[in-house]
């Protein structure tokens, strides 16, 4: 009798453990090696721009100027609570100047190239941005690379010149460029709480970057990763993407249909003061060149006149001695 009780208890423990593992990976939203299926296709993923798929990584941008690439999941995500883990690598030849960065998206529209790290502006959904170059003129109080998040309902403009500081939810510094170990970002969305964590120190442990409450995201959007370079360059690689479906703490009691709601956030980070961009000079390039040319001629004329005056003075001096 006692042995039967132990067997039943063990079975209950196994069932309970399986229910609370919170690590059910959704294969249709994940990208792991080997990447390629038949031919050059990648199951459940599309790519465009400069994106190149190899056996060891997916390179979103090479170390070239004005590059844009993207990698988008083809299956809409209908999971209410999820965690997305991205294994990525940012590296390049530049030591002091490099850019621009990459972004991880949960968005309504996919495969639409644009100015926001290779994706469209005025998007619907969530963007977690890894910005590697500071364009902001005012006080940042942080270094780059910098991870930040933005929730957009299609009406907000990402101000690239201000590094998105006026529309970001929160952020943190991330020393992840040109390191010799693996780097990871985890984006967790559970019960309207958005949390972003990192593993940038090769400790195999997550460190919280930020957590924001009051985030409402629809179901049925697409995951994607984009990157871009400009005058400055960097290599942006993705090594794996894993999406985990989280257990519902309410056990299905919240039956709200999230497929038609509008993305929204009840909190935004307070705007930071910024210095206005310097006004462009009213002189055109041709006018500036002509002005510099006139100045150079004037200086040469002064030098020649001074030499002639000195020579004349020397001749007059010699004549007095005769």
| Distances from the Cα of 129 to the Cα of 106, 147, 148, 151, 235, angstroms | 12, 5, 5, 11, 16
Reference 210, options 245, 179, 168; nearest CA is: 168
Of 186-195, 216-225, 231-240, 274-283, the one with minimum mean pLDDT is 274-283
Q: What is the pLDDT of residues 70-88, one digit of tens each?
A: 999 999 999 999 999 999 9
pLDDT value of position 166: 80
Model confidence band, residue 104 (pLDDT cutoffs 50, 70, 90): very high
Q: Give the separation between CA 217 and CA 48, rounded to whole angstroms.
A: 26
Cα–Cα distance between 121 and 132 in angstroms, integer? Answer: 19
Q: Which residue's entry shows tokens 């150079």?
A: 296
In this prediction, residue 136 carries a pLDDT of 61
CA 109, 114, 119 angle in degrees (round to 5)?
A: 50
3-state secondary structure of 59: strand
Tokens coding 142: 């942080």
User: Is residue 218 over pLDDT 90?
Assistant: yes
DSSP-assigned beta bridge partners for residue 149: 128
pLDDT of residue 98: 84
Burial of 97 (0-12, 13-18, 19+ CB in 10 A): exposed
| Residues 130 and 101: beta-carbon distance below 8 Å | yes
What's the count of helices (H) and strands (E) in the chain, helices before strands? Answer: 2, 17
At 88 the pLDDT is 95
pLDDT in tens, 176-196: 899 999 999 999 999 999 999
Q: How far is CA 32 from CA 26, 27, 140, 242, 313, in A?
A: 12, 9, 36, 8, 86
Mean confidence (pLDDT) of the chain: 83
User: Which stretch of 25-39, 58-72, 95-109, 229-243 has the lowest confidence by average pLDDT?
Assistant: 25-39
pLDDT of 277 > 50? The answer is no
Q: How confident is the model at residue 12 (pLDDT cuts 50, 70, 90)?
A: very low
Region 305-313: mean pLDDT is 79
Segment holding 311, helix H or strand E: helix 285-321
User: What is the pTM (predicted TM-score) of this model?
Assistant: 0.75
Task: Report how far residue 246's alpha carbon sits from residue 320's, in angstroms, rounded to the nearest whole number.
Answer: 105
Lowest mean pLDDT among 120-134, 187-201, 241-255: 241-255
In angstroms, rounded to a whole number, what is the distance separating the alpha carbons of residues 109 and 153? Answer: 12
């Amino acid at each position: 009798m006692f042995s039967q009780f132990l067997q039943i208890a063990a079975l209950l423990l196994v069932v309970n453990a399986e229910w609370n593992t919170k690590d059910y990976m959704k294969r249709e939203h994940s990208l792991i090696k080997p990447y390629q299926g038949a031919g050059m296709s990648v199951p459940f993923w599309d790519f465009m721009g400069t994106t190149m798929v190899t056996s060891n990584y997916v390179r979103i941008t090479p170390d070239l100027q004005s590059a844009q690439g993207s990698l988008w999941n083809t299956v809409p995500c209908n999971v209410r609570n999820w965690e997305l883990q991205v294994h990525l690598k940012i590296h390049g030849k530049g030591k002091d100047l490099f850019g621009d960065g990459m972004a991880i998206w949960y968005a309504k529209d996919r495969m639409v190239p644009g100015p926001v790290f290779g994706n469209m502006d005025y998007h619907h959904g969530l963007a977690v941005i890894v910005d590697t170059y500071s364009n902001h003129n005012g006080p940042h109080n942080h270094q780059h690379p910098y991870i930040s998040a933005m929730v957009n309902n299609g009406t907000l403009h990402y101000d690239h010149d201000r590094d998105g500081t006026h529309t970001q939810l929160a952020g943190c510094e991330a020393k992840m460029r040109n390191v010799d170990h693996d780097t990871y970002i985890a984006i967790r969305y559970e019960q309207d709480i958005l949390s972003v964590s990192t593993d940038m120190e090769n400790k195999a442990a997550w460190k919280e970057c930020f957590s924001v409450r009051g985030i409402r995201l629809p179901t049925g959007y697409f995951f994607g990763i984009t990157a871009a370079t400009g005058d400055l360059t960097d290599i942006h690689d993705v090594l794996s993407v894993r999406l985990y479906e989280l257990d519902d703490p309410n056990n299905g009691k919240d039956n709200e249909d999230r497929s038609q709601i509008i993305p929204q956030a009840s909190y935004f980070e307070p705007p930071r003061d910024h210095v206005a961009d310097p006004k462009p000079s009213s002189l055109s390039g041709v006018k500036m060149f002509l002005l510099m040319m006139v100045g150079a001629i004037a200086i040469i004329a002064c030098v020649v006149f001074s030499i002639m005056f000195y020579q004349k003075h020397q001749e007059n001096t010699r004549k007095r001695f005769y």
